[in-house]
Structure 1
Amino acid sequence: MDIITLTKENLEKEHICCAISNNKDCQVAAKKEWISQQLDAGLMFKKCDVRGKCFIEYIPAENAWAPVLAEDYMYIDCLWVSGKFKGLGYSNLLLDECIRDSKAKGKKGLAVLSSPKKMPYLSDPGYLRYKGFITADTAKPYYELLYLPFEENAEKPQFREQSKSPHTEQEGFVLYYTHQCPFTAKYVPLIENLAQNKGVPFQAIRFKTKEQAQNAPAPFTSYSLFYNGAFLTNEILSEKKFEKILAE
């Protein structure tokens, strides 16, 4: 199986597995713009040569859009192999490529956001632990920072302090998000309009720089929804799911 690495030269023509559509789709356009901006910061997006969700995205932790302290580590943004490719060894292939590349670049290890049990949009803890990842740090209500050290006595990565107990000072609904996940480009405006039509206080705040994301109030910067200061969910909501929250 060939692995394709996205570059500035092939980004325009290659499909991105997490948002399969043409380049005029708002999700594809947003994600490709975000990738293009991060390539100079060391972002790597590698995908198997198949038509579907089968890729890994990682970046030097110092440049990660995440509130973590993990000097000289590589931070995995996303490892996604969809169901139709399960059991074919693609997850191992992609992770092994990330490990090989990270070691070649002199990194101390890998770090990735997960949870004690599988949660939407977070990396699968069962698979990661099977591959040797262990817990480096935790944050409320269910986040775990897992890491795979390449050397003995490597310093553990950790969450930045402000993200360990997610909260905000604002009233009403507050959503922090980025275009690192392409689905936000479609679904954030939908629930924003729904809230406006229902007269519900709602503020959407998009992080546009790594510095903003690194100072986020919650570990998952692609999407974190709060209500009256309390963290609600990191799941990217459809209109139907947001209406259910409003009803509750």
Structure 2
Amino acid sequence: MDLLRLTKDNLAAEHICCAISHNNDCQVAAKKNWLGDRLDEGLVFLKGNVRGKCFIEYIPAEAAWAPVTADGYMYINCLWVAGQYAGHGYATRLLEACIADSKEKGKHGLVMLAGDKKRPFLADPKFLRHKGFTAADTAAPYYELYYLPFDSSAPKPQFTTSAKQPHIDEQGFVLYYSHQCPFTAKYVPLIERTAQERGVSFRTVQFTSAAEAQNAPAPFTSYSLFYDGEFVTNEILSEKKFAKILSEHGL
């Protein structure tokens, strides 16, 4: 498998692996616009030359859309290899390319958000530990910040105070999201409509800059749903799954 790096010259033409291939799809358009704006900030998107989900996306932690303190590190937004490519060592190859690039750029190491176990849209901690990562910090209710330092003197990354105990002072449903994940472009409007049809209080907050995301009230800034101030989920919800949550809250 060969690796291809996205650039401003090839971004429009290349398949970005994690959503529908057609550029006129709202998910692809939103993600490619987000990527294009990040390339000048040092974002790297490496993908395998396959027609599917096989890529790694990373950025200097100072520019990451994440509430972490990890100066001098490279923050991995996403490492995704679809099950159909399992067993070929593709994830290892992508990670090794990221390590080599980060060392060449003089970084302290790598940082990545995971859960306490394998959870939707979060890195699998078992895989990270297998690759030498160590948990550096935790945040409620199940988040773990993993890091791979390149030398023993590297400072330990941590979550910001605002993200350690996810909570907001607002009633009703509030959804924080960004287009870092393409699926939000499709699914956020769908559950907005569901809430409106059910007469449920629902407000969205879209992060449009790294500065906003770095002050987020929860570690996962692509999608974090709250109800009456309490964190509910980071899973990007379909209409059916959101309707189930409404029922669980008697709505």
State whether TM-score is above 0.5: yes
Note the alpha carbon deviations across 1:143-201, whole angstroms, 9 max, x for none. Answer: 00000000112100000001000011110000000000000000000000110111000
Count of paired positions:
248
2:130 is aligned to 130
Residue 99 (structure 1) aligns with: 99
Partner of 2:181: 181
Amino acid at match of 1:105: K
CA distance in 1, matches of 2:196, 2:38: 33
Correspondence list, 1:54-65, <5 A:
54-65=54-65
- The residue identity in structure 2 corresponding to 1:155 is P
Q: State the 1:124 CA deviation.
A: 1.0
Q: Percent identity?
A: 66
Letter in 2 for 1:211: A
Q: What residue in structure 2 maps to residue 246 of structure 1? A: 246
Over 4 Å off, 4+ runs: none
The equivalent residue for 1:72 is 72
2:243 is paired with a residue whose SS is helix
Q: Aligned letter for 1:108? A: H
In structure 2, the partner of 1:13 is 13
Mapped to 1, the partners of 2:4 and 2:147 lie a distance apart of: 25
Displacement after TM superposition at 1:115 (Å): 1.4
Matched residue SS, 1:57: strand
Return the offset for 1:210: 0.5
Q: Structure 2 CA distance, aligned partners of 1:161 and 1:204?
A: 22
Name the aligned partner's letter for residue 9 of structure 2: E
User: How far has the Cα of 1:116 moved from its partner?
Assistant: 1.7
1:244 alignment partner AA: K
Stretches of structure 1 that go unaligned for 5 or more consecutive residues are none
1:139 aligns with 2:142: no
Q: What's the counterpart of residue 87 of structure 1?
A: 87
3-state SS of paired residue (2:58): strand
Distance 1:99 1:33 in 2: 26
Q: Give 1:20 shift.
A: 2.7
Mapped to 1, the partners of 2:150 and 2:89 lie a distance apart of 22
Q: Does structure 2 retain, via aligned residues, the 8 Å contact 1:20–1:52?
A: no
- The 1-side partners of 2:240 and 2:23 are apart by 27
Partner of 1:195: 195
Distance 1:22 1:82 in 2: 19
TM-score, normalised relative to structure 1: 0.99
Question: Offset of 1:21 from its aligned partner?
Answer: 2.1
For 1:6, the aligned partner's letter is L
RMSD: 0.5
Stretches of structure 2 lacking an aligned partner (at least 5 in a row) = none
